[in-house]
Structure formats: structure tokens, C-alpha cells
């Protein structure tokens, strides 16, 4: 009975390629420095990812991942303001620690496409390029082939509207994924 209750703890984690699918909830905010001007109240969408996880020493690991999140959304407001965001894709690295129980915590850094079109007070700003992303994640390895993960990822950019550079645009994503390890 004791042996059957702990099958994962006795399995050594191995370096592996992985692929997965995720539910992604994203929100977009335009901030003018003093308060939030407009925010996008997006709904949950989907995402896919592929990567490679390599154990370094002890339980420490590094991973590289390419991803696509369907974060595209568009909102218009009664005052004429508009926020339009396109899908996000990019690459990111993970650096973390995995315990024998299969639970892990990791930091995230990378670059992703941050494409948006914002109209505030009849002025327009847009961007189509890559921005730095950062965040944190937690995962649980169910067995040698399956794991789940939860990540919080943020990207932001300075917006220059009518010479005012105090505004910023931010995209925050919450990702709940399931991965298959090869």
C-alpha cells in the first residue's frame, strides 16, 4: 500500500521535449501614470506551446519554450476610446527547481510579439514588435509523460500619444496548461 501511494516520488525526472495546450486568460491595460485610463476585459482563450526541459544539478532545471496565445481582442468605449490587441507569440526561458514530489516553481523571461492599436482622446498609438516578457510559474509532474502548469506572464510598452510619454500599455496573461513529455 505504501509503495503504490508514492509512485511519482520514486521516479527520477528526466530531460525531455514537451508540447502542450492551455487555457489563457489575458487582460490589457492602458495606464497614464496616475490611474488606469482604459482596460480590456477579455475572456479566456487558448494557447499552444513546445519546449525542452533540462535538469542542471539536483532539482534545478532550465527550459526553453516557443508559444502562441490567442490574446486577440478589441474593445470600444462610450467616450470614443478603443483598445485592440492581437495574438501573442514568442519564446521564453524558465529557470526553476523541481522537488521529488513532482512540484516545481520557476521564473520566466523572454520576448513576445506585443501588437496593439490604442485610441485615447482622439489620438492613436500602435505597435507591432517584440517586447520583453517576465513572470513566474508553477508545475506539477503527474507522471513521466504528463504535467500541468500555471503561469503569470506580463509584457508592457511605453505609449507616446500627442507627445505624452507617461502612458504605458500592459498585457497580463494567466495560463493553465497540460503538457505531454516525449
Instruction: Please list the alpha-helical segments (H only) found in the chain.
Output: 2-5
The answer to whether residues 69 and 87 touch, using CB atoms and an 8 Å cutoff, is yes
Please state, as a whole number, how many other Cβ atoms lie within 10 Å of the Cβ of residue 98.
21
For 94-127, the DSSP string reads: EEEEE-TTSEEEEEEEEEEEEEEEEEETTEEEEE
Domain ranges, ordered by start, for the chain: 16-181
CA-closest candidate to residue 137, choices 96, 178, 181 = 96
Dihedral sign, Cα of residue 33, residue 36, residue 38, residue 41 = positive
pTM of the model as a whole: 0.82
The region of weakest confidence among 51-55, 129-133, 139-143 is 129-133
Quote the pLDDT of residue 9.
39
**Residue 10 pLDDT level (bands cut at 50, 70, 90):** very low
Mean pLDDT of 97-109: 97
Task: Give the integer Cα–Cα distance in Å for 58 and 162.
Answer: 53
Q: What single-letter DSSP state applies at residue 13?
A: P
**Residue 160 pLDDT level (bands cut at 50, 70, 90):** low
Quote the pLDDT of residue 102.
94
End-to-end Cα spacing for the chain: 29
Mean pLDDT of 10-34: 79
Question: Can you name the residues that pair with 99 across neighbouring β-strands?
Answer: none
Quote the pLDDT of residue 34.
62
Question: 34 or 146: which carries more pLDDT confidence?
Answer: 146
Quote the pLDDT of residue 59.
94
**Residue 177 pLDDT level (bands cut at 50, 70, 90):** very high
- Is a pLDDT exceeding 80 seen at residue 98? yes
Q: Which fold has domain 16-181?
A: Porin (2.40.160)
Taking the mean position of all CA atoms in its chain, how far away is CA 90? 10
Amino acid at each position: 500500500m505504501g509503495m503504490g501511494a508514492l509512485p511519482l516520488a520514486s521516479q527520477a525526472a528526466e530531460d525531455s521535449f514537451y508540447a502542450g495546450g492551455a487555457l489563457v486568460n489575458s487582460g490589457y491595460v492602458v495606464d497614464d501614470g496616475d490611474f488606469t485610463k482604459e482596460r480590456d476585459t477579455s475572456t479566456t482563450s487558448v494557447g499552444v506551446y513546445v519546449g525542452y526541459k533540462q535538469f542542471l544539478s539536483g532539482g534545478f532545471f532550465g527550459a526553453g519554450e516557443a508559444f502562441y496565445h490567442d490574446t486577440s481582442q478589441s474593445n470600444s468605449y462610450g467616450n470614443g476610446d478603443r483598445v485592440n490587441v492581437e495574438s501573442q507569440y514568442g519564446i521564453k526561458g524558465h529557470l526553476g527547481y523541481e522537488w521529488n514530489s513532482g512540484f516545481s516553481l520557476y521564473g520566466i523571461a523572454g520576448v513576445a510579439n506585443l501588437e496593439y492599436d490604442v485610441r485615447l482622446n482622439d489620438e492613436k498609438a500602435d505597435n507591432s514588435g517584440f517586447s520583453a516578457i517576465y513572470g513566474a510559474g508553477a508545475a506539477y509532474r503527474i507522471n513521466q509523460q504528463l504535467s500541468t502548469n500555471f503561469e503569470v506572464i506580463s509584457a508592457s510598452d511605453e505609449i507616446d500619444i500627442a507627445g505624452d510619454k507617461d502612458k504605458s500599455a500592459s498585457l497580463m496573461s494567466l495560463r493553465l496548461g497540460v503538457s505531454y513529455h516525449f
